Amino acid sequence: MTRISRRTFVFAAVLTLGASPAFSQGLEDRLIIVTSFPKDLTAPFAGAFQKKYPGTKVEVQNRNTAAAIAFVRETQSNPPDIFWASAPDAFEVLKKSSLLQKYQPKAQGVASKIGSYPVNDPDGFYIGFAASGYGIMYNTRYMRANNLPAPKEWDDLKKPIYFGHVGISAPSRSGTTHLTVETILQGEGWDKGWATLLEVGGNLTQVSDRSFGVPDAVNSGQYGLGIVIDFFGLSAKASGFPVEFVYPTVTTIVPANVGIIAKSKNQKAAEAFVEFLLSDEGQQILLDPKIQRLPVKEAAYAKAPAGYPNPFKDAKLGARVKFNADVSEARYALLNSLYDRLITFRLKELNAAWKAIHDAEKKLGTGGSAEAKKLIAEARRLATAVPISEKEASDKAVAAAFRDLKKGEKAAGRQAEFEERWDSFAVKNYAEAKALAERAGSAK
Amino acid sequence: MTPPRSAFGGPTLPFQGRERGRLLARYNASPAQALALVFVALFLLAFLVVPLLRVIQIAFTGPDGAFSLVHFGDFFRTSLLRESFWNSIYVAGMTVLLASLIAVPLATILARYRFRGAALIHTLGVVPLVMPPFVGAVAMQLIYGRNGTINLLLMDWFGFRIPFMEGLNGVIFVEALHYFPFILLNLSASLANIDSAMEESAQNLGAHGFTLFSRIVFPLALPGYVAGAALVFVKVFDDLATPLLLNVNNMLAPQAYLKITSVGIADPMGYVISVIMIACSLGAMLLSALVLKGRDFAITQRGGGGLSRRSLGRWGTAAAAAFVIVALAVSLSPHIGIFLLSIGTVWSFAELPDAYTVQHYVTVYRESLPLISNTVLYCGLAGLIDIVLGATLAYVVLRTKLPGRRLVEQAAMSAVAIPGLVLGIGLLRTYYDFQIPFTGESLATFWFMLVIAYAVRRLPYALAAATAALQQLHVSLEEAAESLGAGKLRVLSRIVVPLMTGGLLAGFVTSFATAAVELSATLLLVARAPDAPLSYGIYVYMQSAAGRGPGAALGVIAVVVVAIATYAAFKIAERERGLKSREMF
């Protein structure tokens, strides 16, 4: 029965194809897009594409990233055509499961790198069509009510004054936060980078499980500052919320991507859609105040409003750090898990340790005995320590514990074993750091 | 507690009626009953067990690809997960306590005293179950959050805050407000089934006031209370939305969710946690059955229409009204928040929105009509499927001794602990390659699959409600009808179903109300925007700052839809009850 109905279906499809105007342009009459982008972004693109190719009906399926990946994975017998999302990690997962196809875009004038981050997948399975920078978004009413100064740099977020006022999304939950964390680690080095992450971590009031949770909370004034991607801040401001957004001097640039799904039934329409995103017309749509993403074509900035961030002109946008994609890929899942063990799941303990350190340092001021200084130094060391060295983290056998094993491959252990070790490391260190700092405070 | 004996005297004997197959007779079942059990079992096998097993088999697969329990060992060796396990138990237990403190007095007041607008209060008592995704979370934070309305006012006036929304206690607070209707609904249904004659006899013997309540009324209504409390326990134990909203990660459900939905992590632990949650939920349900075991709650006399209603004195009325108003105001405050969001322009770090507008409703007007009709259609069908399956299963379980009936019941109950995403993936995996004849559409993304997903995940509510209702119904009523020559079907349609109306209604309302805001399976199974229900529309709006108002407007619409359906259901029940008591007189 299945075979008959499928044949009937194909037959019917061929009939309709022959009749539709899209056929005369060589496109199929349907295009199915799976996306995690908000409607504010998808609707203008889908509308403009359909206007250009009136014979092709665009069906946009909005799903969150997890559901989108699961959907593509489970529907291989009759897949959708386009996967359209920010998170490069989602594309990597699909690519590794052979669910994407290679495509070389024909569009001219697209930059190969924005800042130091390559726009396209080097293997050609997904294509960057826009970029975004990371920065700090803050609620101006909240800042005024709590007498907080506006931050300028990432390091500002370490300051005791911001204790309990900062939010971030977990790198394991947000591919773009992951890239930011990775960039900090590559820029500052593994140990120093983790020290920064953990010290900022001490000030965090929340590690959100979804990227949009952070701007949501800052918009409401639930907490004051959020580490977010630029358009979250810029579009909230454009919608009237009392928020501001700043790029720190060293910022990271992350791409937004599109890929054609393997065995797409509407191949030509899918290719046309990718080309449309990269066309001058498509790039122009990115400047829409509700979208506010950075075009990957320099020419598109000609019509941008004054003050629109331009990574081609503004050297501070993402240029400082040389991003090594291979290093990033090798430790991708491990890094997510490590951040969750050290920060996300032990936030209360980390907060308590840093609160004690801040209090002790404030009490001692510039003075204090050598003994107290030693205690504080030791507390800081404990509260910024990381349980695994950079070398180990990039070790193949260790990394293998965090992904599906290939046949005959050996891992250095199970994920759960590593996680338990890191968790007890964190709990023990934070408790000791807290105790030492408290002793330093009373030692004076 | 001495439960009433059958009016026909003595413990009842299984009815030995017409000739039946010898085997079936041993199981005290008719062929139709056996067939019904097989049908329910097949439904569950097809849409729950097989899809579920296809996803969670990874939990039982070792690193070498063979069957292994090594991951379960890892679960108990991981301190974070052990801690999460105890936290979940603690939160679920405390929530039952707090929810009971709200629901038991509310149900008693409603059942006992003459109240104008009782149906309205019942309806408002169900609304807390309807917490639209994302919008509900934002509204909760804006009202109870660290810088929500209440804390901003407290800071202004008194200079301190109350951490409503922090830590495990915050989860308990929010969960109790959210899920107390489970107890309210089931307890109310039970109370309505108690005959006033019971009460009068007790009064004649000198019992009144608290003694009357604690010795007669509450014990007789115990099946309803236990059903509700068990549901609250299990639901809270498995609930994901609230811990995520409060950012409490060290509980089982968020741990499972974070593992399963993290991109690119092939960790079986998420599924291991799911299996453990299912096992715990079944354990809790079994425990609740043990509480009722060996006791008889069935009443033969019918038609008194529940407890005798009294008028309260002036002070009594004032006190009861004050309790009802405070309880409803607190539990509905998130919904007031959603409403304010839907008519506000910008609401940020302030007690109330900056200004008001109807623009958001205008925005959603065009696209929301199909969303509403889809939601009513899907959730209505799912609710109907649930009460049919739930009542059938409850009947077979309680009235026959067919082998395997308990197993089917437990399979149905396990659905309460299954994350929507897991069921969604399972259904896609199992049914995507089945095509619907002629259209060529896949069965998995056909809209009816959403109905099935909702029905499967909400079946435990209807099953619990139907079981409680049937436990109060004495088998001698059915036997009497049969001995007077009524066939099984006639007994069912004239005696059993009418007398279970209240419980079935409670089951329908809970299924409908909670399905109306289901998101996780919906996000996976909706393939075409025109087929989407309200919750999908809310998700789409809540992806951007500008969509908050329209998203809230859709949330209000979802609440109103559920409220109308619930109100209609209660009105029908009231009329039924009125008819029944008149027939008797």
Cα–chain center distance at B439: 35
Residue B8 inside a domain? The answer is no
First-last CA distance in chain B: 30
Least confident of A158-172, B16-30, B191-205, B546-560: B16-30
Kindly state whether residue B449 falls inside one of the protein's structural domains. Answer: yes
How many domains does chain A contain in total?
Answer: 2
- Whether B73 maps to a domain, the answer reads yes
Identity of the residue numbered B30:
S
Total structural domains within chain B: 1
Q: Are both A370 and A418 inside the same structural domain?
A: yes
In chain A, which residues have their Cβ closer than 8 Å to the Cβ of B265? 172, 333, 336-337, 402-403
Virtual torsion, Cα A429, A203, A314, A238, nearest 10 deg: 140
Contact B138 A59 (CB under 8 A): no
Whether residue A310 is contained in a domain is answered as no
Which residues span the domain enclosing B330? 27-584
Is residue A224 situated within a structural domain?
A: yes
User: Which candidate from A40, A74, A241 shows the least CB-CB separation from B429?
Assistant: A74
Q: Which long-range contacts (CB under 8 A, 24 or more apart) does B158-164 make?
A: none
The CATH number that applies at residue B209 is 1.10.3720.10
Prediction pTM value: 0.86
Q: What is the pLDDT of residue B183?
A: 94
Residues A12, A108, single domain; the answer is yes
Residues 149-178 of A with CB under 8 A from B: 172-173, 175
Same domain for A125 and A243, yes or no, is no
Of A12, A93, A141, the CB nearest to B263: A93
- Taking residues B173-190, report their average pLDDT: 90
Residue A70 and residue B79: Cβ atoms within 8 Å? Answer: no
Distance from CA of B415 to the nearest CA of A (A): 20
A154 in any annotated domain = yes
Tell me what pLDDT residue A86 has.
Answer: 85
Which residues fall within 8 angstroms of residue B21, CB to CB, at 6 or more apart? B31
pLDDT greater than 70 at residue B578 = no
Q: What is the chain A residue with the closest CA to B146? A: A222
Are residues A435 and A295 located together in one domain of the fold?
no
Residue B5 belongs to some domain of the structure: no
Asked whether the beta carbons of residue B265 and residue A337 sit closer than 8 angstroms, the reply is yes
Locus of tokens 């809270």: B236
> Hey, what long-range contacts does A4-11 have (CB within 8 A, 24 or more apart)?
A5/B435, A5/B436, A5/B437, A5/B438, A5/B440, A6/B435, A6/B440, A8/B438, A8/B440, A9/B435, A9/B439, A9/B440
Residue B582, pLDDT above cutoff 50: no
Nearest-angstrom CA–CA distance, A80 and A71: 9
Whole-number mean pLDDT of chain B?
85
Q: Is B169 left (phi over 0), alpha (psi -120 to 50) or beta?
A: alpha
Q: What is the CATH number of the domain that holds A91?
A: 3.40.190.10
Measure A106 CA to nearest chain B CA, in Å: 30
| Tens-digit pLDDT profile for residues A23-45 | 446 889 999 999 989 888 999 99
In a domain, B18, yes or no: no
Q: Is residue A316 part of a domain?
A: no
Task: Report yes or no on A312 lying in a domain.
Answer: no
Which pLDDT value is given to residue A3?
Answer: 43
CA distances from B99 to A334, B107, B220, B235, B244 (A): 41, 12, 20, 12, 20
Instruction: Write down which residue in A234, A269, A303 finishes a domain.
Output: A303
Q: Tell me whether A107 touches chain B (CB under 8 Å).
A: no
Q: How many helices (H) and strands (E) does chain B have?
A: 27, 0
pLDDT tens digits, B347-390: 999 999 999 999 999 989 877 788 999 999 999 999 999 999 99
CB-CB contact of B301 with B472 (8 Å): no
Type of residue at B425: I
Same domain, A284 and A370: no
Statement to judge: residues A238 and A280 lie in one domain: no
Longest dimension (CA), chain B: 79
Closest Cα in chain B to A335 = B265
Q: Which residues of chain B have a CB within 8 Å of the CB of A415?
A: 267, 269
Is residue A99 included in any domain, yes or no?
Answer: yes
A280 and A376 in a single domain? The answer is no
Structure confidence at residue B25 as a pLDDT band (50, 70, 90): confident
From A88, which residue of chain B is nearest by alpha-carbon distance? B263
CA–CA distance, A105 with A121 (Å, rounded to integer): 12
The amino acid sitting at B103 is A
A332 and A385 belong to one structural domain: yes
Expressed as residue numbers, the domain containing A420 is 133-252+325-443
Closest CA to A25 of A42, A61, A50: A50
pLDDT score, position A318: 65
Rounded Cα distance between A1 and A3, Å, is 5
Instruction: Please check whether residue B549 lies inside any domain of the structure.
Output: yes
The answer on A94 and A138 residing in a single domain is no
Q: Would you list the DSSP string of B329-398?
A: HHHHHHHHHHHHHHHBS---SSSS-SSB-SHHHHHHHHHHHHHHHHHHHHHHHHHHHHHHHHHHHHHHHH
CB proximity list for A444: less than 8 A, separation 6 or greater: A363, A364, A368, A369, A372
Question: CB-CB: which of B79, B439, B540 is closest to A62?
Answer: B540
Residue with tokens 């002109």: A313
- Give the model confidence (pLDDT) of B309-341 as tens digits: 777 677 878 888 899 899 999 989 999 999 999
More confident residue, B220 or A10: B220
Q: Same structural domain for residues A363 and A431?
A: yes
Where helices occur in B239-310 by DSSP H, the ranges are 241-245, 252-261, 269-292
Which tens digits make up the pLDDT trace of A372-415?
Answer: 999 999 999 999 999 999 999 988 889 888 877 766 777 888 88
pLDDT at B14 over 60: no
Out of A9, A141, A208, closest to residue B348 by CB: A141
Residue A419: list chain B partners with CB under 8 A. 78, 80
Q: Give yes or no: residues A222 and A350 share one domain.
A: yes
Residue of A71, A99, A143, A403 for testing the chain B interface, max B β-carbons within 10 Å: A71
Instruction: Please tell me the distance from the alpha carbon of residue A220 to that of residue A241, in angstroms, as a whole number.
Output: 9
> Is ipTM strictly over 0.90?
no
- Residue B411 to residues A12, A163, B41, Cα–Cα distance (Å): 42, 48, 9
- DSSP-derived letter for residue B513 is H
- B4 has pLDDT over 50: no
What residues in chain A have per-residue pLDDT under 50?
Answer: 1-24
Q: Which of B163, B131, B134, B158 is nearest to B147 (CA)?
A: B163
Residue B17 within a domain: no
Q: Is B551 on the interface with A (CB under 8 A)?
A: no
Instruction: Tell if the CB–CB gap between A420 and B80 is shorter than 8 Å.
Output: yes
Same domain, A362 and A413: yes
Cβ of residue B365 closer than 8 Å to a chain A Cβ: no
Residue B9 inside a domain? The answer is: no
Quote the longest CA-to-CA distance of chain A: 88
